[in-house]
Structure 1
Amino acid sequence: MTCMQRRMAMDRLGHFAPALAALGTAAMLLTLLLLTVAHAGTMQASWRLAVAPAAVTQTDTVLLGDIARPVGDLPEEHWRTLAATPLWAAPARDGEQQNITRGKVESLLRYHLRDLAQLCVVSGPLVVQRGGRLLDEAALRALVSESLTARVSGMRGEVSLRDFRLPSQVFLADSQNTLAVDVAGGFGPGRISLLLREVNPAQITVRKYGATVFLDQWVNVACAARPINPRDELSPDKVTFMRKNAAYLRGEPWDGRRFGLRAVRPMGTGEVIYKANLDDVPLVSRGDTLTLVYQGRNVRLRTQVEALADGGLGDMIPVRNTDSKREVVAEIRDAETVVVR
């Protein structure tokens, strides 16, 4: 700092000394002044005071330390003294709040801090509550994560939480109150609805807040190793396992263990094989050539027919005579025979 800059700083001491009276001694005042440089009417320093969007005060007067935190190179002992600077009267009763616009906050800081107000960063309106406790969004996120950890840890695969949609802050009416996290509805991959409840020491719910979080669950599921057509029977060479996010599955995937199944719809390479898209391979399939046995009282005839539908043992299906093209309904006796009585 040049001699001229020091002289300018000392000249300005009398200008904002009332705002810094809470700092205590002249030595402390001088130390803070030397941390700043007055240039063309602008305060420059290696630190700033970030004003929070919400705060709680426990006294009759809102202090600078209630609403702001230092960012940068402001020594801790200097901040402790500066934080004790009184600003304005706090709400009269516990639980009562003040809603102050950004412009009003900036005006009040200029009035009480004078030039040092230039080092305050105000990002928006401010809500101040008398008494109680404040949980900001970071604290709420940590609380939700901790509350869901036990349920998440018991799930298979790789599980994580993201896209937290929480209140920007929650004011607790009393410092002894707590915030309970309940799952509202089903718990599983995808978006989870939550209910945040402020609970007093008597375990009575005081207030409620809605929230959601997205749960990702990466698991290995059976997928088509190559295109599969309708009516194709599954075999090991047609199946592979791939890592998929269960949050985006459209149903229950096939476990990939039990075969003897066939596709009921086409599936492309890499597509998840869902149980709903599979069916048991029938004993008789449409288009099979079968032997039709006519079982009369005194006569027994045999002829070749074509199955016109799928069926299992004992099912009645339509068949067509391969010679006469006549259609009848016959009962499936085995994989090669149908019977008409």
Structure 2
Amino acid sequence: MHSYQRHLKIMATVLLWFAMLLFAGTALAATVEASWRLTLGTAAVAHGTRVTLGEIAHPVGDLPAQQWERLAAIELWSAPEEQGKQHTVTTEKLTKMLRYYLGDVAALCVTSGHLVIQRGGKVIDGPELERQVVQALTSRISGLRGEVSLRDFRLPRQVFLSDRQSNIEVSVAGRFEPGRLSLQLTEMDAGGNAKRRYTGGVFLDQWLNVPCALRPINSRERLTPDAVGFKRKNAAYLRGELWDGRSFGQRVQRSVGAGEVLYQDNLEDVPLVSRGDILTLVFQGQYVRLTASAKALSDGKLGQRILVENLSSKREIAAEIRDAHTVVVR
């Protein structure tokens, strides 16, 4: 008799374990085979006293609308008590709370880390914030020459607004020019009043065809059409006023390497007389006029006095430039 009862207890235990394993296997299979998931962001807004699943998650995949409606209405933990107040839920705590309130459904939730919840208002996430920045800057970008684009957005991960009717106003702090732009993001309420301010940044590229040296150009060498051309450069990395690419009556002050950009501040007008030129030196007196050969010791323009060396006497004399070949001593 005792042996029989012991046998029944063993059979009952085995059946219980088998049922538990079967249930666990079924639940696991349901989780794995589900064609949908619930994704949670890093920021959400709660409009009631308790946070609902629909406020912190959104469905991805083939989740029937009626089923999601039921799930979205599930109340979770308490929301922040005061309007506009925020509360941060750590990743570990978020995982535990989802299991507590959702049971097996928690296995279908995909989290992105910690979650910040605000009572009331609205939240703008990173992608939407980036879209608004692009929209705000488009009108100013359209007036720029060349190929223009925005990249390397450095914006808040999300922005909380204190009221549903508020919006974000984007402005550029400082000069609007190629390169890194500093942005100010201001929350404006329905009455046009500034409420909160955030900062950010974005990089503006402007690709232009600019004048460059096609070969090395030595210091004091005149610009000639065969030595220059146009190449595609990013204006964000250009510094200074560019040469116009057409005024060839100039020369470079400092040497320029092949492929380098030609800047206006490195150019100067070609002088009428250049250092080393052989000139006619005229001694003009009241009753006498003498001439000699001389070498220019510096550059000079028409009417300017420069030092020249008399090639016969080797003396240095100050003379006035009359033309490209003549200097005069009076």
Map of 1:26 onto structure 2: none
| Residues in 2 aligned to 1:202 and 1:74: alpha-carbon distance in whole angstroms | 40
Map of 2:283 onto structure 1: 294
Please state whether the residue corresponding to 2:221 is helix, strand or coil. Answer: coil
Q: 2:207 aligned with 1:232, yes or no?
A: no
**Following TM superposition, by how much is the alpha carbon of 1:298 offset from its aligned partner in structure 2, in angstroms?**
4.0
| Residues in 1 aligned to 2:46 and 2:223: alpha-carbon distance in whole angstroms | 68
Of residues 73, 76, 80, the one that matches 1:84 is: 73
Please, which runs of 5 or more residues in structure 1 have no aligned partner?
Answer: 1-6, 13-35
- The residue identity in structure 1 corresponding to 2:64 is P
User: Hey, which bits of structure 1, 4+ residues long, moved more than 6 A?
Assistant: 7-10
- The residue identity in structure 2 corresponding to 1:85 is I
| Residues in 1 aligned to 2:225 and 2:259: alpha-carbon distance in whole angstroms | 14
- The residue identity in structure 1 corresponding to 2:82 is R
Map of 2:4 onto structure 1: none
Map of 2:96 onto structure 1: 107
Map of 1:154 onto structure 2: 143
Q: 1:110 to 1:8 in 2, by over 3 A?
A: same
Larger radius of gyration: 2
Map of 2:84 onto structure 1: 95
Is this contact kept in 2: 1:43–1:115, CA < 8 A?
Answer: no
Of residues 108, 116, 119, the one that matches 2:105 is: 116
Alignment of 1:179-190 (within 5 A): 179-190=168-179
Q: 2:303 aligned with 1:307, yes or no?
A: no
Is this contact kept in 1: 2:27–2:104, CA < 8 A?
Answer: no
Q: 1:175 to 1:40 in 2, by over 3 A?
A: closer
Please, which runs of 5 or more residues in structure 2 have no aligned partner?
Answer: 1-18
- The residue identity in structure 2 corresponding to 1:192 is L
How many residues get paired? 312
- The residue identity in structure 2 corresponding to 1:156 is R
Alignment of 1:1-341 (within 5 A): 11=23, 37-39=26-28, 45-341=34-330
| Residues in 2 aligned to 1:163 and 1:227: alpha-carbon distance in whole angstroms | 35
- The residue identity in structure 2 corresponding to 1:330 is A
Please state whether the residue corresponding to 2:212 is helix, strand or coil. Answer: strand
**Following TM superposition, by how much is the alpha carbon of 1:323 offset from its aligned partner in structure 2, in angstroms?**
2.2
| Residues in 2 aligned to 1:211 and 1:158: alpha-carbon distance in whole angstroms | 23
| Residues in 1 aligned to 2:171 and 2:301: alpha-carbon distance in whole angstroms | 49
Name the stretch that deviates more: 67-76 or 220-229.
67-76
| Residues in 2 aligned to 1:9 and 1:88: alpha-carbon distance in whole angstroms | 31
| Residues in 1 aligned to 2:116 and 2:276: alpha-carbon distance in whole angstroms | 76
Is this contact kept in 2: 1:223–1:272, CA < 8 A?
Answer: yes
TM-score normalized with structure 2 length? 0.89
| Residues in 1 aligned to 2:21 and 2:211: alpha-carbon distance in whole angstroms | 73
**Following TM superposition, by how much is the alpha carbon of 1:40 offset from its aligned partner in structure 2, in angstroms?**
8.6
| Residues in 2 aligned to 1:37 and 1:259: alpha-carbon distance in whole angstroms | 84
Map of 1:31 onto structure 2: none
TM-score normalized with structure 1 length? 0.86
Please state whether the residue corresponding to 1:38 is helix, strand or coil. Answer: helix
Q: 1:297 to 1:58 in 2, by over 3 A?
A: same
**Following TM superposition, by how much is the alpha carbon of 1:115 offset from its aligned partner in structure 2, in angstroms?**
2.1
- The residue identity in structure 2 corresponding to 1:93 is E
Is this contact kept in 1: 2:145–2:208, CA < 8 A?
Answer: yes
Is this contact kept in 1: 2:31–2:108, CA < 8 A?
Answer: no
Q: 1:82 to 1:10 in 2, by over 3 A?
A: farther
Is this contact kept in 2: 1:9–1:38, CA < 8 A?
Answer: no
- The residue identity in structure 2 corresponding to 1:302 is T
| Residues in 2 aligned to 1:229 and 1:76: alpha-carbon distance in whole angstroms | 74
Is this contact kept in 2: 1:37–1:44, CA < 8 A?
Answer: no
% identity of equivalent residues = 57
| Residues in 2 aligned to 1:214 and 1:37: alpha-carbon distance in whole angstroms | 52
**RMSD of the TM alignment (CA)?**
2.1
Please state whether the residue corresponding to 2:27 is helix, strand or coil. Answer: strand
Residues 46-82 of structure 1, C-alpha deviations (whole Å, 9 max, x = no match): 3222111000111221011111122233233322221
Is this contact kept in 2: 1:223–1:271, CA < 8 A?
Answer: yes
